[in-house]
Amino acid sequence: MSLKKNKKIAENMNEVDDEIMNVLNSEEYLNFSTKEEAEFIAEFTEVKKVEKGTLLLKEGKLATTWYYVYKGCIREYCLKDGEEITTEFYTAGDSLSDDTSKFSKSPSLLNWECVVDSIVSVVPFEVQLEMFKRFPRLERLCRIETEKKLGDFKVAVNNYNSSSPVERYDNLLKTRPEIFELVPLYHIASYLGVKPESLSRIRNRIRNAYR
């Protein structure tokens, strides 16, 4: 397989942004892989900064890339009658991959928007396939992580369907407090399935309950 090398990292480390260098030198990055695996990842993938408002994936386009978030937040949303419906938030430690579009080679139904300036690892699918071929250990790790995320997703859907908006808000606040520091409240309202004014009432009700 002929892969495109990441010249920015492979050829001139001196030009890499300081924040990105911190990621590349972090324990999280270095301990994830062996030396041989790390060399492959550095040669054929890219860690880059993406500005707030950037769309990593747009509905109607073929998904061709897998992303891993090191810093920031990516909002996933779909469009229904012209309205953006927020379906997920991805923060540091999360990965993004539209496998439906990837395997069926069909246009994606998803949009991935950076809601704040972020740092992500960019892995084209062809690089991912070659990486798994060369390093079965990484494939196993990714498969285990995918299975875990699928299980978490099923639990989240069940909890969402069986809970009230107040319970959804309280659960999000307890389990993912960083979301409230990164994401505008109207996106959180969409994610919880309520209007922004309803979310304001929920927040006031909960604040008053703790006074």
Asked, for residue 156, whether it belongs to a domain, the answer is yes
Q: Residue 191 falls within a domain, yes or no?
A: no
30-34, 72-76, 129-133, 195-199, range with the lowest pLDDT: 30-34
Mean pLDDT value across residues 106-132: 94
What distance in Å separates the CA atoms of residue 180 and residue 166, rounded to the nearest whole number? Answer: 15
pLDDT value of residue 29: 60
Q: Find the domain containing 30 and state its range.
A: 7-162
- At residue 40 the predicted structure's pLDDT band, cuts being 50, 70 and 90, is confident
When divided into structural domains, the chain yields a total of: 1
The answer to whether residue 49 sits within a structural domain is yes
The CATH number of residue 51's host domain is: 2.60.120.10
Tokens of 78: 């779909």
pLDDT in tens, 54-92: 999 999 999 999 999 989 999 999 999 989 999 999 999
Does some domain include residue 143?
A: yes
| The pairing of beta strand 83-91 with beta strand 55-57 | unpaired
Would you give the DSSP letter of residue 61?
A: S
Contact 101, 163 (CB under 8 A): no
Instruction: Report the chain's mean pLDDT, rounded to a whole number.
Output: 85
- What does pTM read for this prediction? 0.83
Confidence of residue 198 (pLDDT cuts 50, 70, 90): very high
**Domain-embedded: residue 115:** yes
Cβ-Cβ contacts under 8 Å for 180 (sequence gap 6 or more): 173, 188
- 121 CB-near residues (< 8 Å, 6+ apart): 45, 46, 47, 67, 68, 70
133 part of a folded domain:
yes
Confidence of residue 37 (pLDDT cuts 50, 70, 90): confident
Compare 142 and 113 and report the one with higher pLDDT: 113
**Cα separations (Å) of 27 from 17, 58, 139, 156?**
18, 32, 20, 30
For residue 142, tell me if it sits in a domain: yes
Beta bridge partners of 90: 74
pLDDT in tens, 8-23: 444 443 444 677 667 6
Q: State the Cα–Cα distance between residues 108 and 60, nearest whole angstrom.
A: 5
Percent of the chain with pLDDT over 90: 48
Task: Tell whether 211 is covered by a domain.
Answer: no
Q: Which residue has the higher pLDDT, 207 or 110?
A: 110
